[in-house]
């Protein structure tokens, strides 16, 4: 993909966000994109691909937001990114114009043959609507359960979005939902309240805290929460208010 | 290696193709190079090193093709790349001119001390024949069994070249060899015919298909063929025609 | 971190030295920095972070040497780099000026919110003393046992600094300490003398040699010394002279 990009735009600055997303883990990748992309300069073109089940019926798409442009499969990969965007400020295009693809398109590697060349052309200033047919942003595939559920009793049912490389569990429960005294339940364990930092915990202690993405994070100080709790992306996390 | 390159050519664009080749897996690395390099811009300089057994008797070489320049040990690393090239269009040089090396050359890290600085000087336009002594391209070390064998009965004996990160087994049997009705045998399993895409298989199904490099690939839909078949680079793959 | 850097300095060349340091392995990271940094061009800005226990009491610092500038936590990460420097040629600054940070600083990700933007501003030519308060370089946190101990009988007690990806054990015993006939003891095994290169060993043989960083290295030819000896960073290595 990088060779293809540099062949089209030799001045492109190509940055890897990650190559560590597990196969088929669309939700994990979607969350990483939403975490990382806001920190890139305005106008950055993000090419993403996670599903080797390409060549299937999924559309190839590009989506322009006020801040950046995204290129990839229409399989929910942009769900977290787009969840907070006003639909009328998005331009979505079904990538149907082979003029901007590699001359030969394989059935298995759309990243190299479609997404990379399209991203490179976008970085050179090609307008998004030259790449194919405009489509309503509302028709883009979105993952279910993008937000935690708040129950009538004030408890919050959220989910683990991913484990980071330290085994810390990143959840979808936002910092601002976590006020007052509370307990956190995950994988049959109960944690009383939030710690301000990792360092405030004892070595080996299971803690909840506000992570670097301003969401609830479950960690073991100098340990691996994902391994200790045998928990990964998708696991339920319940926050209860203590009265 | 990157620090050395940028010290010589601060404007160099340095791209990692991979750091995931297992130790000593020269064939795996040779195949990755042949897969990736055609997608880079013409004139790209590729520096490659796989064998920590450097400092041994292997020559350090550079090879110029009509499309690119390759720098590395003469241990077969460029076999697949060069297999399709006309020898008379190649320029090969034994790297013997220390003027283009780091001032101090360690006995174990030729990548940093010879290949990186030589590649950086090439990227600045130094002519390949300044780097050492011209040698016949035909004297470069080539790996054995670079192509599958076609038996008189029409069956093809090929090999697994590598497993990708999803556990898909990439073979050396070209798409154009796979016509008509056929069965594929690998690791004691038999697969009937080719699927057009991963998505055409059932979840967990063992399938054969044409992969992104236009060769036969063995995969398990949303699974890991390398693990399931306990198979890796070098394993035999037999394609038989069905009459 | 890369997005933040490129947002401040779009022309920055951003290079990854490694993302493979185990969590909390400050000594491992400190050694990698000392190994790699001398090969980068003069004036390079190195941003490093290893300890997710940030947000704790550790200071954020920048240190300028005659060759480069280092940005990161004051937790010993720069110990090996600075061990050979004359203190009076160093400028150390406690990073207290939020003007050069991201507007919002999280409690867990100082790499992104402080070190990355500070490094980017340094790469644009901001003077180090604008970043905070000057501090004596001698007050920087240094790791203990930075050098091997030489006993009265001439034997040397050193340590394994890290295992590389091939399982070779890199030690802190310098090449120039290894003269004459000697034996090396590590993990209950004894090795007689040094081999000139890996290739001089038998396949599977446990050997000692001078590695690419000009220090004693323990390796298994085409094998994995770290696994075979069940040894990692911190293990004692004893060199005895043979009379």
Determine the distance in angstroms separating the CA of B199 from the nearest CA of chain A, rounded to an integer: 5
Rounded to whole angstroms, what are the CA distances from B220 to B169, B181, B198, B206? Answer: 10, 21, 8, 4
Q: Give the highest mean pLDDT range of A203-217, C90-104, C105-119.
A: C90-104
If you average pLDDT over residues C82-109, what whole number do you get? Answer: 90
In the prediction, which pLDDT does B179 show? Answer: 85
Distance from CA of C57 to the nearest CA of A (A): 8
What are B's interface residues with A at a Cβ cutoff of 8 A?
13, 15, 36-37, 39-41, 44, 165-166, 168, 196-200, 209-214, 217, 221-222
User: In this structure, what token pair is assigned to residue B121?
Assistant: 């000087």
Q: Give the distance, in angstroms, between the CA of residue A218 and the centroid of all CA atoms in the same chain.
A: 18
- Mark yes or no for CB contact C198/B2 under 8 Å: no
Q: In a 3-state reduction of DSSP, which class is residue A46?
A: strand
User: Quick one: closest CA in B to A3, which residue?
Assistant: B40
pLDDT at residue number A56: 54
Whether residues C109 and A212 touch (CB distance < 8 A) is answered with: yes
**Which positions of chain B have pLDDT values less than 70?**
51-57
Q: For residue range C147-186, list pLDDT tens digits in order.
A: 899 999 989 999 998 888 888 999 999 999 998 889 999 9
Angle at B198 between CA B197 and CA B200, to 5 degrees: 70
Report the chain A residue with the minimal C-alpha distance to residue B20.
A19
Residue of A nearest to C19 (CA): A165
Q: What pLDDT, on the 0 to 100 scale, is given for residue C142?
A: 93
How far, in Å, CA of B205 to CA of B199, rounded? Answer: 11
Distance CA B183, CA B169 (A): 16
In terms of pLDDT, which residue wins out, C107 or C203? Answer: C203
Q: Could you tell me which of C82, C70, C53 has the C-alpha nearest to residue C141?
A: C82
Which string of DSSP letters, residue by residue, matches C143-199?
-S--SPEEPTTS-EEEEEEEE-TT-PEEEEEEGGG--SSEEEEETTEEEES-BSSGG
From chain A, the residues in CB contact with B13 under 8 A are 6, 10
Q: Which residues of B have a CB under 8 Å from any CB of C?
A: 2-4, 6-7, 10, 14, 23-24, 52-57, 106-109, 112
The number of C-beta contacts closer than 8 angstroms across A and C is: 64
pLDDT tens-digit profile, chain A (243 residues): 999 999 999 999 999 999 888 777 888 899 899 989 999 999 999 999 986 554 456 899 999 999 999 999 999 999 999 998 888 899 999 999 999 999 988 777 889 999 999 999 999 999 999 999 999 999 999 998 889 999 999 899 999 988 888 889 999 999 999 988 899 999 999 999 999 887 888 889 999 999 877 899 999 988 899 999 988 777 899 999 987
What is the rounded CA–CA span in Å between residue C131 and residue C61?
9
CB contacts < 8 Å between A and B, how many?
A: 65
In this complex, which of A10, A23, A107 lies closest to B197 when CB atoms are compared? A107
Q: Which residues of B touch C211 (CB under 8 A)?
A: 106, 108-109
Rounded CA separation A69/A46 (Å): 6
Q: Which of B67, B199, B214 to mutate to test the interface with A (most CBs of A within 10 A)?
A: B199
- The residue of A3, A103, A111 whose CB has the most chain B CBs within 10 angstroms, and thus the best one to mutate to test that interface, is A3
What are the tens digits of pLDDT across the range B152-189? 999 999 999 888 878 899 999 999 999 888 999 999 99
Report the residue of chain A nearest C20, measured CA to CA: A165
**Average pLDDT value for chain B:** 91
Going by C-alpha positions, the residue among A124, A69, A78 that lies closest to residue A100 is: A124
pLDDT of residue C181: 85
Contact A139/A73 with Cβ under 8 angstroms? Answer: no
Is the pLDDT confidence value at C52 over 60? Answer: no
Q: How many helices (H) and strands (E) does chain A have?
A: 6, 13
> Residue C32: pLDDT above 60?
yes
- Backbone φ and ψ for B110, nearest 5 degrees, come out as -65, -25
pLDDT at residue A54, rounded to an integer: 46
What does pTM read for this prediction?
0.85
> Could you tell me the pLDDT band of residue C47, with boundaries at 50, 70 and 90?
very high
- For A55, the closest of B41, B199, B222 (CB atoms) is B199
pLDDT on residue B56: 54
Count of CB contacts below 8 A, B vs C? 63
Contact list, C201 vs chain B (CB under 8 Å): none
At C54, the pLDDT band (50, 70, 90 cuts) reads very low
Could you give the CA distance from residue A217 to residue C139 in angstroms, rounded to a whole number? 34
Confidence at residue C199, expressed as pLDDT on a 0 to 100 scale: 80
Q: How far apart are CA B5 and CA B124, in angstroms?
A: 11
């Amino acid at each position: 993909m990088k060779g293809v990009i540099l062949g089209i735009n030799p001045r492109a600055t190509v940055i890897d966000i990650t190559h560590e997303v597990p196969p088929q883990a669309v939700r994990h990748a979607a969350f990483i994109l939403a975490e990382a992309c806001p920190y890139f300069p305005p106008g950055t073109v993000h090419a993403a691909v996670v599903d080797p089940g390409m060549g299937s019926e999924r559309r190839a798409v590009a989506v322009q937001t006020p801040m950046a442009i995204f290129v990839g499969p229409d399989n929910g990969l942009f769900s977290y990114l787009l969840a907070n965007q006003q639909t009328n400020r998005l331009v979505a295009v079904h990538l149907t114009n082979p003029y901007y693809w590699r001359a030969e398109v394989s059935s298995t590697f759309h990243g190299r043959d479609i997404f990379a060349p399209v991203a490179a052309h976008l970085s050179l200033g090609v307008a998004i609507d030259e790449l194919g047919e405009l489509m309503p942003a509302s028709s883009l595939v979105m993952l279910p359960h993008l937000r935690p559920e708040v129950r009538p009793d004030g408890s919050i049912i959220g989910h683990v979005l991913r484990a980071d490389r330290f085994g810390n569990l990143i959840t979808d429960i936002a910092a601002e939902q976590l006020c007052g005294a509370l307990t956190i339940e995950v994988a049959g364990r109960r944690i009383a309240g939030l710690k301000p930092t990792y360092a405030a915990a004892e070595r080996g202690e299971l803690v909840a805290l506000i992570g670097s993405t301003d969401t609830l994070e479950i960690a073991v100080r100098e340990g691996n929460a994902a391994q200790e709790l045998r928990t990964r992306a998708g696991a339920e996390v319940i926050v209860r208010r203590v009265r």
